Structure 1
């Protein structure tokens, strides 16, 4: 027996709805799971029964258009047949082999990643995810330069492990610092954000010039000879989907070269098609010294991340052992999924689709939505990587939800999110923003469907304006 749910006319798989099965899934979760970034008593997870393409569904028979790409990592969509087949084929041959051995899929994945990386970034060190990638990139930079300190932006997220959470500029860092879980030797700076300019800029050119002057000032006061690296999300993700103004990344590259600092581009969220290119740095023609990646490299089908090293950094460890490694570095199943993902993306023009849908459907659609809703202060993004910034007053730009606020203060955005879900679309939100981040494979019709649901949901925010 099959049925149809909201969000799509496609039938659900046989056996659904099955509320009793869903209740058992939730019961096991609440009895035994410890959830990340959450007060455990407040967790109330929705049990998911399956997914395909740009949709997933629960045991009640409700289908959702995935405008979140889960954790902004499901770039190729749910259950892509070529990636599933690649994992199954690898499992039939060998599921695990230590990283000290050569493995065909591990080597092929590294070669494919190096081929699409810019400049002389020709070597890949595999990790299990993005946080570990940033941990190891910083370790490599410190050893390569012989310097201890790292700079990162206030509006940023780099992961939840000790060094990565220290790099992070959002409020999740605070509790880790209070508990002593974060590591030191990190200084923060303000990156460009014209809509809420720290530098009182009124144009992109002013914002770029003043943000670079500020960064150089931080370098000067922190001591250039103490700084190993600047870690920068190419397009800031969780903290706002902030697209850098023209010239900014080139300016960061020049500052790094001038002071002997390594430039680490965190492409964990922005890489592998999210912005309509293999790596977001490709849009600005900049080559970092190290690139960290994860998420979209295999759409999260099996955990995988890594660091892409320039030849110069690699040569530091040619005759001296690198003091780091992981049991699951380059896991065969994860690397097979990466090979399947990159190959499918090339064959199916996934990057091109993301760029086109962003330019022709999502961008124009969000700008039209902004004209109808006084709660929308700004929309920004590229590819399938967009943010809708919500305000109480367009003139003052007062945030709809205050920075770092939760509970009752977050009610306005909670209502928007609830309306999206009720309409059959699963969104991502962060404080006063709704992020529009569907899979890179999304069709024009699906993109319009999701935008129409968001359009209706934003009336819940409009009532708080004024």
Structure 2
């Protein structure tokens, strides 16, 4: 017999991105650290961080305590007022960004952060168009889904959002017939330059890129690519927006993934890991030049819950905990010494693994029908691997023919080894 929670969910809850009658959701009843439990008491290592946001794991006591204390003091307030948690969260976030990005506009999540970044860029430049990559995801709201590149855009694409697209670098499935990272970088930049020229540089407000594309496949860009994009934007007066919603706040083994690539954007969008997802929060970090546009001209946008006290108190506690506990450096080492080597070793033994890529606590395992053809493993077969992972006690993040291994950034080496062993078992024939 299914639980009351399950039955009520199926009767009344309308789920995201799903055919409603075909769903069979897992009921999660408890979570601590890197583990979750279902309604039958089964334990899972959470290598999904849910939707890649529990960067400090589940139930971190310092963040939970901050939410409780803030709720007792000032649970909510209208955004036109100044509050201590919002002011301190803005200070801390700006202090982690490159010099010259000092202002923070708070949103409720990543999609509306990208919505507002694009609006700011259009108003700042007076231009209508935005360029985005085909292999990308920027959110499910109207503008954000229109600049998204993956197929979830198709049913929602009005075709009137002033968006043009280009292919970013991805050597494993190169659009440019590249034989090296250097060729992939050079040819991807030439392609972007030609796209800008063909669209009309004077019509383009912004280029928006995930610093490291997340849902599209965790594809760290080759050296030189992001600085090359920055140079093209500078040449043509285009705003560069880097989407750090998934890759930021320790996930890539750096406070922001952009720290790895010697690039300074004009706008940075964030969400998810900023407070480990405990209370919805996102935002835009704004360059001084763009902030000056709205110094004496009102910015035409806002949200009822912008900088909500509970969310920003959680952000302050998360950033302070990550600083005191060395979480960012730990995630970097975890990727270099444990997850990366372990996943590459699995790839050598399992022909179903076509490619392994990532940094920090941000990894993708691409499953293929054949290593020589690189034909993606069919979705049905991929779901069989996912089911085997769950039977082994591992909860991965899944999209298309990929398993994303994106555990909490403070995952222990012991739990990392346990998760890799579970994945090894799941990849074995007949599991």
What's the TM-score, normalizing by structure 2? 0.99
SS in 1 for 2:245: coil
- Equivalent in 266, 288, 298 of residue 311 of structure 1: 288
Aligned-pair distance for 1:168?
A: 0.5
2:274 is matched with 297
How far apart, CA to CA, are the structure 2 residues paired with 1:61 and 1:319? 57
CA contact (8 A) 1:141 1:229 kept: yes
Q: Does 1:210 align with 2:180?
A: no
Query: Residues 420-446 of structure 1: CA distance to partner in whole angstroms, max 9, x if unpaired?
Result: 000011011111111110000100000
| Cα drift, residue 393 of structure 1 | 1.6
Preserved CA contact (<8 Å) 1:130 1:268? yes
* Structure 1 Cα separation of the partners of residues 160 and 16 of structure 2: 20
Asked if 1:49 corresponds to 2:29, the answer is: yes
Q: How do 1:188-227 and structure 2 match up within 5 A?
A: 188-227=165-204
Q: Distance in 1 between matches of 2:403 and 2:6?
A: 27
Offset from partner CA, 1:223-260 (integer Å, 9 cap, x none):
00000000000000000100000000000000000000
The Cα RMSD (Å) is 1.1
Corresponding residue to 2:232 among 248, 255, 279: 255
After the TM superposition, which residues 74-85 of structure 1 pair with which residues of structure 2 at under 5 Å, given as runs? 74-85=54-65
Contact 1:162 1:183 in 2 (8 A): no
Tell me the SS of whatever aligns to 1:102.
coil
CA distance in structure 2 between the partners assigned to 1:325 and 1:50 by the alignment:
35
Partner in structure 1 of residue 421 of structure 2: 452
C-alpha distance in structure 2 between counterparts of 1:45 and 1:432, whole Å: 20
Which of the numbers 26, 33, 39 marks the counterpart of 2:6? 26
Question: What is the rounded CA distance, in whole Å, between the counterparts of 1:379 and 1:417 in structure 2?
Answer: 17
State yes or no: 1:285 paired with 2:265: no
Q: Deviations over 1:84-117 (max 9, x none)?
A: 0000010010111111111000000000000001
**Aligned residue for 1:435?**
404
Counterparts of 1:367-386 in structure 2, within 5 Å, are 367-386=344-363
1:344 & 1:248 partners in 2: Cα distance?
33
- CA shift, 1:399, in A, is 1.2
Stretches of 4+ aligned residues off by more than 6 angstroms: none
- In the alignment, which of 414, 418, 421 is matched to residue 383 of structure 2? 414
Tell me if the contact between 1:163 and 1:183 (Cα under 8 Å) persists in the aligned partners: no
Aligned residues: 431
Q: Which moved more, 1:27-36 or 1:153-162?
A: 27-36
Map 1:63-462 → 2, pairs under 5 A: 63-177=43-157, 180=158, 184-401=161-378, 410-460=379-429
CA distance in 1, matches of 2:365, 2:345: 12
What is the TM-score of this pair, normalised by structure 1?
0.91
The equivalent residue for 1:13 is none
Taking the aligned partners of 2:187 and 2:206, their CA distance within structure 1 comes to: 21
- SS of the counterpart of 1:34? coil
Any idea what SS the aligned residue of 1:427 has? strand
Structure 1's 248 and 162: CA in aligned 2 closer, same or farther, altered over 3 A?
Answer: same
Provide closer, same or farther for how the CA distance between residues 38 and 357 of structure 1 changes in structure 2, counting only shifts above 3 A.
same
Write the distance in 1 (CA, Å) between the matches of 2:184 and 2:99: 28
Cα distance in structure 1, aligned partners of 2:117 and 2:41 = 44
Cα distance between partner residues in 2 of 1:234 and 1:458:
30
Q: CA deviation at 1:400?
A: 1.1
CA distance in 2, matches of 1:217, 1:457: 44
> In the TM superposition, what is the alpha-carbon distance from 1:183 to its structure 2 partner?
5.2
